């Protein structure tokens, strides 16, 4: 008994061969020289005249033969595709993750859709922003995001000071040098907020997606193991088309 995975395996090759042979037949029919033939014999005007050999060119491509061969080639493609599509209507499998059935009786076409979509979902999850590991984060319910513990820093201001290098005398004024001193004038309390995610959470999501990907692949393999009935649609189609 033929199985669906066997049909899927040969379908690509049948499609490729059919396309190539159909293209070759189409090109051959466009070459007038291949469709044409000729037969010529020469008879001199009198017995003493020059004798020339006969000339002939055979017809290399015949329209009806090409039609019949094309129909034969495409019949195989039509039958293989029909067998696959008919089988896909009945081929189903459950998606099971960690022993729990997530989806029941999923058709092959939807399993293929899931496989493709989960590739994009995995890319999305892997690029989720992660909280800076250099900070300590706690969830702040009031801000509805992650926050660090408050950190206090000082604010300073440069205050000018006078330094008397030499006292004033009767003949000279005092020699004073101005310098600036950093003086604490206040305090900053800083809390950082972030909408990013903990690395643990991102890793959990990646693991979930990868588990589901594996489960979908297993389900597809199981569905593709379904027995199929060989459909014979091609002959009916081409018997009508090229009758």
DSSP, residue by residue, 189-210: EE--EE--B-HHHHHHHHHHHH
Domain of 154? Answer: 150-190
Residue 31 lies in a domain: yes
79 contacts 232 by C-beta, under 8 angstroms = yes
Tally of domains in the chain: 2
Mean pLDDT of 76-81: 90
Between residues 4 and 127, the one the model is more confident about: 127
For residue 200, pLDDT beyond 80: yes
**Are residue 83 and residue 66 in the same domain, yes or no?**
yes
Q: Is residue 139 part of a domain?
A: no
Looking at residue 26, its pLDDT comes to: 82
Entry pTM: 0.66
Grouping H, G, I as helix, E, B as strand and the rest as coil, residue 187 is strand
- Residue 1: predicted pLDDT: 66
Mean pLDDT, residues 85-90: 86
Are 179 and 73 in a shared domain?
no
Predicted confidence band of residue 84 (pLDDT cuts 50, 70, 90): confident
pLDDT category of residue 36 using cuts at 50, 70 and 90: confident
Nearest to 66 by CA among 37, 39, 27: 27
Q: Mean of the pLDDT values across residues 129-146?
A: 94
Q: How far apart are CA 146 and CA 138, in angstroms?
A: 6
Task: Say which residue the tokens 């993750």 belong to.
Answer: 97
State the CB neighbour count (10 A cutoff) for residue 110: 16
């Amino acid at each position: 008994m033929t199985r669906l995975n066997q049909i899927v395996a040969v379908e690509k090759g049948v499609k490729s061969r059919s396309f190539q042979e159909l293209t070759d037949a189409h090109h051959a029919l466009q070459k007038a020289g291949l469709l044409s033939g000729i037969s010529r014999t020469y008879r001199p005007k009198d017995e003493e005249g020059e004798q020339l050999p006969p000339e002939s060119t055979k017809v290399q491509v015949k329209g009806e033969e090409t039609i019949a061969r094309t129909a034969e080639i495409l019949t195989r493609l039509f039958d293989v595709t029909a067998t696959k599509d008919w089988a896909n209507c009945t081929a189903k499998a459950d998606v099971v993750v960690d022993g729990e059935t997530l989806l029941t009786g999923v058709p092959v076409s939807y399993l293929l859709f899931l496989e493709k979509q989960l590739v994009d979902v995995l890319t999305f999850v892997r690029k989720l922003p992660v909280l800076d590991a250099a900070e300590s984060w706690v969830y702040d319910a009031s801000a509805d995001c992650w926050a660090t513990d408050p950190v206090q820093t000082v604010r300073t201001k440069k205050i000018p000071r006078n330094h008397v290098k030499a006292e004033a005398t009767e003949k000279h004024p005092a020699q004073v040098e101005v310098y600036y001193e950093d003086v604490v004038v206040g305090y900053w309390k800083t809390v950082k907020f972030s909408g990013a995610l903990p690395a643990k959470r991102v890793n959990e999501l990646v693991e979930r997606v990868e588990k589901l990907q594996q489960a979908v692949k297993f389900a597809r393999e199981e569905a593709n193991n379904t027995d199929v009935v060989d459909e014979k649609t091609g002959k009916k189609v081409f018997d009508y088309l090229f009758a």
